[in-house]
Amino acid sequence: MKDFYNLENYHYGKSSKKPYNRGKSFGYQVLGFGSGVAGGFVFASYQKGIFSFGSGGATNLLSNTGVVSANVTGVGTARSATAGTGIGGDIGILGYGTNPSGLSSLTNLVSNVGVVQSDQSGVGTARSQLGAATFGGQFGVFVYGQASGKSSIRNLVSATGVVASDESAAGTPMSYIGCTSYSAENDLGIIVYGDGSDKNQSNLISNLGVVSADVTGVGTARFSPAAQTYGGDKALVAFGGGGPTLLNTRNLISNVGVVASDASGAGTPRYGPGCPPFGGDKCCFAYGVVSGGPSGGEVSNKVSNTGVVASDTSGVGTPQADMAFCGYSN
């Protein structure tokens, strides 16, 4: 971990008046990747989002009011079963996945105006069906996934999008997972549900990117849900497949990483949706596989800043599933 960053001068104090600690100075130096973050870093409250690198091959932007755009021109190697997360306060990274040539470890940065950048050379074990989350306010981690088998791997990501080599991750390795950050500073993360055999375990991610041992799960075990932050410091996980049954169940995640029992869902039951954040404290589920296939799964469902999932909004763009998604623009 010492090669990744130096925490000696990382200090922050929480403010009840400024939930994202805007304007505070953070002498957080990133080492090992040839870059640093100057004082004045602002923890992310992402205003916009993106869906990309899914089974439909489309890229769609999410506005700061939760409106999903029609398809926009994408770049990079087409693939699916990817993962993405916000980094650096206002940009994102999308990576890994599978394409007709096999598994990939390629990554693509997302600029602060939502432009997907060209391929970056892959680092770490090529795999698919993995998760990604923000930790430490500005860093990212890709975790678990399917390689030759289910992997117990994590790859840390710097604030500028440099991916580190493989490190071990604790817990039972899974694929098709829900994964997101939580806490007011996007400081912590959680992995929840997943696997073709439908698990309801969770694993916490510390503010150093360390994955915890398994935490006994609650709620309906499922695969391919999506998870995201809401309300400034909390998160939720929703949708997914529970065996042969498609779900729209939601489970709220507290600001200390406790997963609540099932709550009534809304919208078309499906698995493999995306859910980027928008507007600083909300998120939006969209796309996924519904009964009979992905067609019809391009509907979207906004999530309020109190964690309530809205009914379906008519979808736009190419039906797709198992895509990467993240926030951008602070």
CA of residue 205 relative to chain centroid, distance: 13
pLDDT recorded at residue 44: 64
**Percent of the chain topping pLDDT 90:** 78
Question: What are the structure tokens assigned to 53, written together?
Answer: 């690198």
Q: Kindly give the pairing relationship between strand 83-87 and strand 131-135.
A: unpaired
pLDDT at 198: 86
Please state, in angstroms and as integers, the Cα–Cα distance from residue 238 to each residue in 149, 200, 309, following that order: 26, 12, 9
> How many CB atoms neighbour CB 155 within 10 A?
27
Give the pLDDT confidence of 224-234 residue by residue, as tens digits.
999 999 999 99
Mean pLDDT (whole number) for 240-267: 94
Q: What is the pLDDT of residue 43?
A: 58
Give me the mean pLDDT over the 257-279 stretch. Answer: 96
Tokens, residue 61: 């932007």
Question: Using the 8-state DSSP alphabet, how is residue 303 labeled?
Answer: E
pLDDT of amino acid 2: 36
Distance of CA 93 to the CA centre of its chain: 10
Helix (H, G, I), strand (E, B) or coil at 96: strand
Q: What is the pLDDT of residues 204-220, one digit of tens each?
A: 999 999 999 999 889 99
pLDDT at position 223 is 95
Six-digit token pair at 84? Answer: 């993405």
pLDDT at 324: 98
Q: What is the DSSP track for 218-284?
A: -S--BBS-EEEEETTTEEEEEEEEETTEEEEEEEEE-TT-PBPPPB---S---BS-B--EETTTEEE
pLDDT of residue 163: 98
171 within 8 A of 186, measured Cβ to Cβ:
no
Give the distance, in angstroms, between the CA of residue 328 and the centroid of all CA atoms in the same chain: 12
Q: Tell me how crowded residue 124 is: count the other CB atoms within 10 A of its CB.
A: 21
Residues in CB range of 114: below 8 A, 6 or more apart: 48, 50, 61, 328, 329
Residue 7's pLDDT is: 33
- pLDDT interval class at 257 (50, 70, 90): very high
Summarised one tens digit per residue, pLDDT across range 141-185 is 999 999 999 999 999 999 999 999 999 999 999 999 999 999 988
